[in-house]
């Protein structure tokens, strides 16, 4: 059984590794009614953008616009291009100066005002256009150190309004076309001693323009030591012809060809179909009018401890937020910018309610059964603190009622105009696992996602079972149509590392696998998992190759991922293809985003 030298690294490939994919966003800046600092003419404004570090909270200069002479209403031509991460709170600061000389030192120019916002605020505003008042305030920030200093030192008047800044965000256009293909294979070499090969494909491109595509065929092995069967080359132009005599490829093993004079090939691969569609991003849905409906559910079970004691996870310290409030604030501050009315339903579960001591797993924190919505994150925190003073912590920890509650609302609107996100914050082991699984499976076909955050030091191993990243969740023999749950089983991140646990880790979250409303009315449906065919050398196979130049560097292998199928439930498997399919399915890859090699085919890392 032969295998190429570069095969050793393939067993180490991790489809979840790599940098977090980001959407490039272009920010355009305009201002109106700026302060006039020049005596005989108007100001010559310059805008400086700063970003704030997640760890140290220091402001760093990101870039500067050009200087526009003699105007109080500039429309700057130079734009800021930033990476947009939905799951992060990206703080931005914009300082305006009247430039009086050619010096790059900002302290030598007149300060006109500043504005603070987040990238999410800009993107989530109607039309991705945000207007904010420029102010000088009692203090401004030193452009180099980021530390506050008296605003009057820059010639400003504390608290005075200094005009308006207009910020517009636009996603940079790039190739988002997805090619969907279906292949079949015939007479592939047998690599398994007691059975037939379990083949899968690895795609490469040769250079920057990606004109040539090399496809390697491997036999999947459970231990990761996949056996090389052979390879063939093609191009997008050839594939675009669809099914024809030009798209029947001989799979050739170069080493066998050199050693054996009568060697012909190691089988053939045939293209059965080819189609190209455009993939929508998270920003497409937002611009298309999709609203995110954010609902929070908080654990009020007795395992949290007595709220009046400092050891309790619900303890209301006058000096700092408790674990629940911290998690709620961190996620809520990100989500709220995508909800136009900022009214968020807030529920509790696992408590005895006054006056009769009835145990409830779906009660409104504000006490209003007809309308459990609270105004903004502050409103949720106020209702949460009020509930702690009125209800009795009890149990058990049941998720199914709140999941069903949000699913019921999501089912009412399925035209792509709304998407529901349920945040569950809990401290302990779930008590109604079977009922919760059933509720999640039923909700998986609806426009909703669930984020579960664990606080405290309890064991959350069982809860990870709800996260369908590796094994699709099922209930009563029925598989969830898609993975809608993300679990963060670790104690909540400290301040300064505030990311929503929506780390399906791409800008399309929370719409992963859901057909939503986009500007062009298109629908999309990506799915997860690796695919192979077991025990048949003449099967058709496929998968969704969901990669970008950010997720997979130029020398990485790109895995195949399956499109919608209904596979039988299987037990968890070691690293490798987790799902087995015995029917033809389809293969996709993002055009222009295959791993590439410079000059020669380079082995994967």
Mean pLDDT, range 496-512, rounded to an integer: 38
Q: For a pLDDT cut of 70, what percent of the chain falls above it?
A: 71
pLDDT band at 363 (very low <50, low <70, confident <90, very high): very high
Listing DSSP states for 119-178 in one string gives HHHHHHSGGGEEEEEEE--SEEE-TTT--EEEGGGGT--TT-EEEEEEEEEEEPP---EE
Residues 388-400: tens digit of each pLDDT: 999 999 999 999 9
> Which CATH entry fits the domain spanning 176-279+526-590: 1.10.3470, 2.60.40, 4.10.280, 1.50.10?
2.60.40
Residue that wins the pLDDT comparison between 577 and 322: 322
pLDDT at 251: 94
Q: d(Cα 159, Cα 28) in Å, to the nearest integer?
A: 26
pLDDT at 538: 30
Residue that wins the pLDDT comparison between 539 and 436: 436
pLDDT at 482: 86
pLDDT band at 152 (very low <50, low <70, confident <90, very high): very low
pLDDT at 173: 64
Residue that wins the pLDDT comparison between 434 and 159: 434
SS3 332: helix
The two domains 23-171 and 176-279+526-590 share their CATH topology (first three levels equal): yes
> Which CATH entry fits the domain spanning 23-171: 3.40.50.300, 3.30.70.20, 2.60.40.150, 1.10.3210.10?
2.60.40.150
Average per-residue pLDDT for the chain:
75
What number of residues does the chain have?
A: 605
pLDDT at 558: 31
The angle, 0 to 180 degrees and rounded to 10, between the axes of the packed helices 376-390 and 323-335 is: 150
Mean pLDDT, range 533-561, rounded to an integer: 31
Contact at 8 Å (CB) between 200 and 218? yes
Contact at 8 Å (CB) between 116 and 73? no
Comparing 56-60, 66-70, 469-473, 501-505, the range with the smallest average pLDDT is 501-505
What are residue 345's DSSP bridge partners? 373
pLDDT at 175: 62
Among 263, 322, 572, 323, residue whose Cα is nearest residue 454: 323
Distances (CA, A) of 182 to 139, 278, 531, 576: 62, 18, 13, 21
pLDDT at 488: 80
List the structure tokens of 162.
Answer: 């200094």
Domain ranges for the chain = 23-171, 176-279+526-590, 287-488
pLDDT band at 39 (very low <50, low <70, confident <90, very high): confident
pLDDT at 88: 84
Name the architecture of domain 287-488.
3-Layer(aba) Sandwich (3.40)
List the structure tokens of 117.
Answer: 């916002």
Backbone conformation region of residue 477, classed left if phi is above 0, alpha if psi is from -120 to 50, else beta:
left
Mean pLDDT, range 36-56, rounded to an integer: 87
Contact at 8 Å (CB) between 59 and 50? yes
Residue that wins the pLDDT comparison between 28 and 490: 28
Residue that wins the pLDDT comparison between 152 and 65: 65
What's the predicted TM-score (pTM) here? 0.57
Residues 399-432: tens digit of each pLDDT: 999 999 999 999 998 888 889 999 999 987 899 9
pLDDT at 246: 75
Name the residue with tokens 């009922």. 435
H-run or E-run covering 285: helix 282-287
Per-residue pLDDT at 203 exceeds 50? yes
Comparing 103-107, 258-262, 338-342, 358-362, the range with the smallest average pLDDT is 338-342
pLDDT band at 483 (very low <50, low <70, confident <90, very high): confident
For the ranges 32-36, 37-41, 508-512, the maximum mean pLDDT occurs at 32-36
pLDDT band at 340 (very low <50, low <70, confident <90, very high): confident
Comparing 313-322, 327-336, 546-555, the range with the smallest average pLDDT is 546-555
Residues 427-456: tens digit of each pLDDT: 878 999 999 999 999 999 999 999 999 888
Mean pLDDT, range 351-374, rounded to an integer: 95
Distances (CA, A) of 88 to 104, 118, 283, 389: 31, 10, 15, 32
Per-residue pLDDT at 554 exceeds 80? no
pLDDT at 263: 92
């Amino acid at each position: 059984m032969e295998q190429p030298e570069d095969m050793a690294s393939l067993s180490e490939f991790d489809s979840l590794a790599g940098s977090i994919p980001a959407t490039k966003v272009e920010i355009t800046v305009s201002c109106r009614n700026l302060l006039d600092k020049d005596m005989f003419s108007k100001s010559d404004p310059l805008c400086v953008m700063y970003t704030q570090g997640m760890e140290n909270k220091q402001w760093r200069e990101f870039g500067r616009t050009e200087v526009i002479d003699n105007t109080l209403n500039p429309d700057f031509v130079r734009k800021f291009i930033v990476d947009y991460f939905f799951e992060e709170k990206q703080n931005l600061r914009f300082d305006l100066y009247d430039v009086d000389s050619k010096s790059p030192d900002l302290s030598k120019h007149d300060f006109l005002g500043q504005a603070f916002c987040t990238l999410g605020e800009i993107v989530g505003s109607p039309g991705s256009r945000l207007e904010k008042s420029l102010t000088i305030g009692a203090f401004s920030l030193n452009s180099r150190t980021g530390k506050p200093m008296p605003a009057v030192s820059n010639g400003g008047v504390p608290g005075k309004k200094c005009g308006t800044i207009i910020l517009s965000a636009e996603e940079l256009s790039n190739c988002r076309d997805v090619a969907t293909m279906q292949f079949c294979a015939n007479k592939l070499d047998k690599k398994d001693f007691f059975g037939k090969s379990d083949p899968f494909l690895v795609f490469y491109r040769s250079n920057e323009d990606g004109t040539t595509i090399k496809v390697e065929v491997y036999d999947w092995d459970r231990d990761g030591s996949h056996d090389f069967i052979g390879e063939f080359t093609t191009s997008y132009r050839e594939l675009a012809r669809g099914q024809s005599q030009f798209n029947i490829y001989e799979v050739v093993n170069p080493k066998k060809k050199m050693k054996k004079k009568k060697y012909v090939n190691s089988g053939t691969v045939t293209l059965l179909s080819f189609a190209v569609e455009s993939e929508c991003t998270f920003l497409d849905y937002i611009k298309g009018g999709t609203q995110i409906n954010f609902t929070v559910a908080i654990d009020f079970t007795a395992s949290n401890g007595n709220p009046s004691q400092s050891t309790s996870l619900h303890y209301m310290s006058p000096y700092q937020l408790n674990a629940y409030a911290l998690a709620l604030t961190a996620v809520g501050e990100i989500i709220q910018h995508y909800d136009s009315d900022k009214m968020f339903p807030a529920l509790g579960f696992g408590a005895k309610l006054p006056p009769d001591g009835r145990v409830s797993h779906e009660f409104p924190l504000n006490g209003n059964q007809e309308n459990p919505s609270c105004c903004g994150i502050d409103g949720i925190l106020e209702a949460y603190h009020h509930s702690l003073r009125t209800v009795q912590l009890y149990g058990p920890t049941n998720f199914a009622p709140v999941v069903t509650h949000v699913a019921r609302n999501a089912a009412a609107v399925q035209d792509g105009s709304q998407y529901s996100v349920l945040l569950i914050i809990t401290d302990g082991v779930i008590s109604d696992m079977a009922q919760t699984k059933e509720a999640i499976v039923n909700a998986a076909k609806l426009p909703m996602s669930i984020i579960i955050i664990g606080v405290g030091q309890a064991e959350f191993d069982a809860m990870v079972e709800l996260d369908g990243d590796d094994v699709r969740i099922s209930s009563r023999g029925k598989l969830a149509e898609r993975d809608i749950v993300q679990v963060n089983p670790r104690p909540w991140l400290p301040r300064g590392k505030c990311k929503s646990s929506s780390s399906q880790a791409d800008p399309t979250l929370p719409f992963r696998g859901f057909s939503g409303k986009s500007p062009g009315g298109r629908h999309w449906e990506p799915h997860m998992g690796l695919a192979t065919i077991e025990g048949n050398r003449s099967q058709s196979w496929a998968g969704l190759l969901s990669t970008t130049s950010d997720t997979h560097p130029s020398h990485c292998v790109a895995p195949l991922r399956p499109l919608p199928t209904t596979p039988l439930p299987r037990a968890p498997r070691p690293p490798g293809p987790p799902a087995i399919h015995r029917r033809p399915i389809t293969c996709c890859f993002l055009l222009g985003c295959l791993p590439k090699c410079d000059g020669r085919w380079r082995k994967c890392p």
